[in-house]
């Protein structure tokens, strides 16, 4: 049995990245850059007004009420611009190019129009006010995004604005899931005594989709060693990462560990000193990663967020694979006994964190309203209200 930190270190040490591929930016959402993106242009590419108002020479305004003669206008997309000379102003709109000679833009609300003149009610007017400098957001030739950055919606907008339409990213893994358990019913089947509806596959598929992984398949095996070996063998041939749901404890009908051994997989660790999720197994066969997750849904999802997701993110090239961690005061006191670290389904509310009811490993309802996981090592098994605890923020 390994500690939580040992398990995480072994997973990351045994996880590489997939090859890089070039693809259209529009298809790269959720991927991680494998190389820096260099800006081919400056943003903005010209001096640009940040307000509707009047482009002026700031030194012309000697007092509030200064009158300036209108010399034309500048609107977005206009190329043929008037020139601002001493004593003149140019009507300008947000995003429009700032004319030659202008050193500031006075917002419309601080002016009044009279015939062909504009009166400036602001004094003094600072040089450069309401003027976006050429290259203020990014200079031509500068690094726009570093390797390892996530291609997020914001990144797409940023790169499209500089006419970057293709990026080089790490490939996303193909993930296969094996579901075991003779007690499980598929959706639509009639509920009979002794059976339960299988939900872990849909839960894990949703978690993978949230991580940007859509290449996912599900296989099922009865509680039989030969059936488990056959199903895992096929999954190992076709996928980069294999998840097994259930069949990894010490019961007479838990065959995943034996099946992996029969297939020649190397077990990196089995069992973690934690609650829930103790019977977690991590193995490798060549470069393929295998996670055998507990069958209880809350245990399975805790293990996914704390161990599987970081491995997936590293495979895809993320430089920060683990859940973001913060320290927050716990609203209510919490105590536990035993020699295992605990992960608690939790909710961050304002500036504190709340441990939710229903912490049992079979209870998934509390996960439905969670936005965080509290991590309590055994050395912090007596927590008072208001005491700081380690909180892992879920990726919502």
* pLDDT at residue 122 tops 60: yes
- Is 325 in contact with 392 (CB distance < 8 Å)? yes
Structure tokens at 352: 């504190």
Q: What is the pLDDT of residue 255?
A: 85
pLDDT over 70 (residue 252): no
Sign of CA dihedral 273, 274, 280, 284: negative
pLDDT bin (cut points 50, 70, 90) of residue 251 is low
CA–CA separation, 342 and 348 (whole Å): 17
Q: What's the chain's Rg over C-alpha atoms?
A: 30
CA distances, 347 to each of 42, 146, 330, 352, 367 (Å): 43, 32, 10, 9, 9
**pLDDT above 60 (res 253):** no
Sign of the four-CA dihedral 113, 114, 117, 118: negative
* Amino acid 223: pLDDT: 82
Residue 162 is predicted with a pLDDT of 96
Give pTM, 2 decimals.
0.87
pLDDT digits (tens, 9 = 90+) for 278-306: 999 999 999 999 999 998 899 999 999 99
For domain 4-18+172-315, which CATH number applies: 3.40.980.10, 2.10.50.10, 3.40.640.10, 3.40.50.980?
A: 3.40.980.10
CATH number for the domain formed by residue range(s) 324-393? 2.40.340.10
**β-pairing, 281-285 with 216-221?**
unpaired
> Which CATH number among 3.30.465.10, 3.20.10.10, 3.30.390.50, 3.90.105.10 corresponds to the domain 20-39+147-170?
3.90.105.10
Bridge partners of 92, per DSSP, are 53, 74
Average pLDDT of the chain is 94
Q: Identify the burial level of 350 via C-beta atoms within 10 angstroms of its C-beta, where 0-12 means exposed, 13-18 middle and 19 or more buried.
A: exposed
Q: How far apart are CA 198 and CA 364, in angstroms?
A: 13
Tokens 């992996």 sit on residue = 260
Rounded distance between C-alpha atoms, residue 324 and residue 189, angstroms: 40
Question: Could you tell me the residue ranges of all domains in the chain?
Answer: 4-18+172-315, 20-39+147-170, 48-132, 324-393
CATH number of 48-132: 2.170.190.11
Tell me the two tokens of residue 268: 């990196």
Q: What are phi and psi of 218, to 5 degrees?
A: -125, 135
Contact 271, 339 (CB under 8 A): no
- Contact between 200 and 246 under an 8 Å Cβ cutoff? The reply is yes
**Does the structure show a pLDDT above 60 at 242?**
yes
Query: Nearest CA to 71 among 47, 87, 60, 52?
Result: 87
Model pLDDT, residue 184: 74
For the cut 90, the answer to whether the pLDDT of residue 224 exceeds it is no
| CA angle centred on 237, ends 233 and 238, rounded to 5° | 120
Q: How confident is the model at residue 250 (pLDDT cuts 50, 70, 90)?
A: low
Give CA–CA dist 268/281, Å, rounded: 8
The residue that leads in pLDDT, 59 or 338, is 59
Confidence of residue 221 (pLDDT cuts 50, 70, 90): confident
**Mean pLDDT in residue range 190-197:** 79
Quick one: which H or E segment has residue 257?
helix 256-262
What average pLDDT does range 313-341 have in this prediction? 96
Query: What is d(CA 200, CA 388) in angstroms, rounded to the nearest whole number?
Result: 32
CA-CA distance, 317 to 367, in Å (whole number)? 28
Mean pLDDT confidence for 365-393: 96
pLDDT tens digits, one per residue of 63-112: 999 999 999 999 999 999 999 999 999 999 999 999 999 999 999 999 99
DSSP-derived secondary structure for 251-314: STT--HHHHHHHTTPEEEEE-BSEES-TT-EEEEETTEEEEEE-SSHHHHHHHIIIIIHHHHHH
At CA 342, angle to CA 337 and CA 344, rounded to 5? Answer: 120
- Residue 281 in contact with residue 269, Cβ under 8 Å? yes
Average pLDDT over every residue of 142-153: 96
Cα 340 vs. chain centroid, distance in angstroms?
A: 29
Instruction: Inform me whether the pLDDT recorded for 144 exceeds 90.
Output: yes
Whole-number Å distance between alpha carbons of 265 and 285:
5
166-170 vs 143-145, strand pairing mode: unpaired
Q: CA-to-CA distance for 310 and 255, rounded, in angstroms?
A: 26
Percentage of the chain exceeding pLDDT 90: 85
Q: Which two three-digit tokens encode residue 133?
A: 């400098």
Going by pLDDT thresholds of 50, 70 and 90, the confidence category of residue 387 is: very high
């Amino acid at each position: 049995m390994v500690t939580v930190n040992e398990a995480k270190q072994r997973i990351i040490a045994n996880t590489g990245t997939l090859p890089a591929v070039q693809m259209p930016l529009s298809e790269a959402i959720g991927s991680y850059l494998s190389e820096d993106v260099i800006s081919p242009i400056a943003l903005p590419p010209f001096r640009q007004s940040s307000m509707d108002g009047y482009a002026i020479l700031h030194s012309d305004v000697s007092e509030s009420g200064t009158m300036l003669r209108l010399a034309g206008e500048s609107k977005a997309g206009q190329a043929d611009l008037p020139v601002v000379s001493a004593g003149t102003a140019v009507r300008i709109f947000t995003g429009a190019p700032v004319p030659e000679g202008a050193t500031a833009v006075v917002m419309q609300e601080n002016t009044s129009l009279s015939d062909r003149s504009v009166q400036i009610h602001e004094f003094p007017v600072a040089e450069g006010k309401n003027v976006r400098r050429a290259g203020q957001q990014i200079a031509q030739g500068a690094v726009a995004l570093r390797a390892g950055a996530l291609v997020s919606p914001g990144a797409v907008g940023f790169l499209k604005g500089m006419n970057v339409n293709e990026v080089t990213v790490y490939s996303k893994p193909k993930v296969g899931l094996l579901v075991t358990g003779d007690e499980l019913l598929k959706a639509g089947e009639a509920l009979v005594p002794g059976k339960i509806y299988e939900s872990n596959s849909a839960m894990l598929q949703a978690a993978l989709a949230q991580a940007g992984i859509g290449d996912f398949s599900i296989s099922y095996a009865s509680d039989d060693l030969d059936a488990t070996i056959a199903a895992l063998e096929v999954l190992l041939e076709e996928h980069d990462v294999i998840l097994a749901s259930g069949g990894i404890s010490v019961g007479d009908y838990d065959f995943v560990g034996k099946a992996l051994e029969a297939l020649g997989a190397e077990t990196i660790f089995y069992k973690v000193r934690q609650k829930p999720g103790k019977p977690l197994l991590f193995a490798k066969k060549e470069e393929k990663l295998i996670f055998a997750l507990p069958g209880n849904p809350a245990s399975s999802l805790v293990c996914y967020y704390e161990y599987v997701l970081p491995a997936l993110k590293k495979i895809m090239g993320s430089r920060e694979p683990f859940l973001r961690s913060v320290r927050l005061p716990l609203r209510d006191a919490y105590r536990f006994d035993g020699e295992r670290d605990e992960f608690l389904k939790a909710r961050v509310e304002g500036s504190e964190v709340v441990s939710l009811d229903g912490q049992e490993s079979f209870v998934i309802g509390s996960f439905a309203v969670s936005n965080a996981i509290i991590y309590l090592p055994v050395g912090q098994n007596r927590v008072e209200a208001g005491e700081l605890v380690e909180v892992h923020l879920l990726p919502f």
